[in-house]
Structure 1
Amino acid sequence: MKKIAILLFGLSSLLGFSQEIALLKYSGGGDWYSNPTSLPNLAKFCNQNINTKISLKIPTVEVGSPDLTSYPFVHMTGHGNVVFSDNDVINLRNYLTSGGFLHIDDNFGMDQYIRKEIKRVFPDNPLIEVPSTHPIFQKPFAFPAGLPKIHEHDNKKPQAFAIIIDDRLVLLYTVETDLGDGWENQEVHNDPIDVRTKALKMGANILNYVFNN
């Protein structure tokens, strides 16, 4: 099943069809909608710099929806509470083990909640820290020190954690970096151009991994 899903995702790219990515909508009260300009900006950057054909119209998909399987990459963010229903847990697990990819970017405040829900999705697969030598930090843009620091938050080291199934990274959780804020329009956070560029390049690396593995 996983190989079929991956093949279909890759085939759409090879045939020149538009690649679609989506924003994940979840329950619990957290602001899943908090970075409205981030994914369109990331898609535009990738289309201009790494030869993707990602649609700039970013749909929203709910965790428990059967439409989740339509997207090879789904992004999740927010500042607060996250609650998955039992159906959400099963649907998300099936999606990720069948070729899908979820990037969770803590927008500052969701860490204590999302870790509990990830544990429910994969009770036997703990989050592991992704080393700086992993391909996701190597191409197409080099990040020899690993995840870049975009926003201060608690001024801790930025970290990338992952769930790996059958040697494939299926879930990436980034914390103490806030890549999504770096993808937003410049006037939203007034980040310097070099900081925004680092965030966009790291996002491009993530999508490059998704579409080529």
Structure 2
Amino acid sequence: MDKFFAFCFILITSLVFAQDMAVLKYKGGGDWYSNPTALPNLVKFCNDNIDTNINENIQTVEVGSIDIFQFPFLHMTGHGNVFFSDDDAENLRKYLISGGFLHIDDNYGMEPYITKELKKVFPNKELKEIPRDHEIFSTAFEFPNGLPKIHEHDGKAPQAFGIFHEDRLVLLFTFESDIGDGWEDPEVHNDPEDVREKALKMGANILKYAFTN
């Protein structure tokens, strides 16, 4: 069986039978391991509030590994450099066009590196700002103004960018929001409860969209 179709079979099986997610490990020296409490807290919030049944065992997978095809949802974050080899980029592209979903959350400082590396993944596609009326802002909770602002860095408005394949949003890049910080344990950043709640609700929207589209 062709490797590409084997990957598709693995991914489709995962999509049908599991709601699993993983942290994406990448090369380049960036801190892919940032926000260690974020995803466990988000999973618990979703399972408690939007009737998901997401596996609470958050695993780590390398971008160039076939293992990414076991997870319908991948989360990537960090502050610094990102590097994808040609094999990494091809693997990630096949994953995304086969039905997978990648959320990249800029934890401040990641943007110039990840935008450059994404050109290896989709040479003919551009990150496009997602309009506020897109369903990702209303799948579980209403965000009529779009992506919420969780942490201040450069004083810029939060933006949600995406890459689409055949009209499906396959990659979400959240910028100037730092939404993952809002998912962390309260004592990590001492965010007000209403700010954490906004972050978790928007995270729930992202997960619900990824698992149902």
TM-score calculated relative to the size of structure 2 = 0.94
* 8 Å CA contact 1:5, 1:98 repeated in 2: no
Partner of 1:102: 102
Q: Secondary structure, in 3 states, of the residue corresponding to 1:30? A: coil
Alignment of 1:12-51 (within 5 A): 12-13=17-18, 19-51=19-51
Cα shift at 1:119:
1.2
CA distance in 2, matches of 1:5, 1:25: 20
Cα shift at 1:153:
1.0
Which amino acid in 1 is paired with 2:169? L
Structure 1 vs Structure 2 CA RMSD: 1.5
CA distance in 2, matches of 1:70, 1:6: 6
Q: Number of matched residues? A: 208
TM-score calculated relative to the size of structure 1 = 0.94
Does 2:158 match 1:158?
yes
Residue 10 to residue 92, structure 1, CA distance change in 2 (3 Å): closer
CA distance in 1, matches of 2:45, 2:10: 26
Runs of 4+ in 1 over 4 A off after TM superposition: 1-7
CA distance in 2, matches of 1:44, 1:126: 33
Identity of aligned residues (%): 64
CA distance in 1, matches of 2:10, 2:166: 15
Q: Secondary structure, in 3 states, of the residue corresponding to 1:169? A: strand
| Gaps in structure 2 of 5+ consecutive residues | none
Cα shift at 1:131:
0.4
Cα shift at 1:9:
3.9
Q: Secondary structure, in 3 states, of the residue corresponding to 1:132? A: coil
Residue 140 to residue 3, structure 1, CA distance change in 2 (3 Å): farther
Q: Secondary structure, in 3 states, of the residue corresponding to 1:162? A: strand
CA distance in 2, matches of 1:34, 1:6: 26
Cα shift at 1:55:
1.5
Q: Secondary structure, in 3 states, of the residue corresponding to 2:208? A: helix
Residue 146 to residue 3, structure 1, CA distance change in 2 (3 Å): farther
| Gaps in structure 1 of 5+ consecutive residues | 14-18
Alignment of 1:179-190 (within 5 A): 179-190=179-190
CA distance in 2, matches of 1:195, 1:4: 40
Which amino acid in 1 is paired with 2:13? L
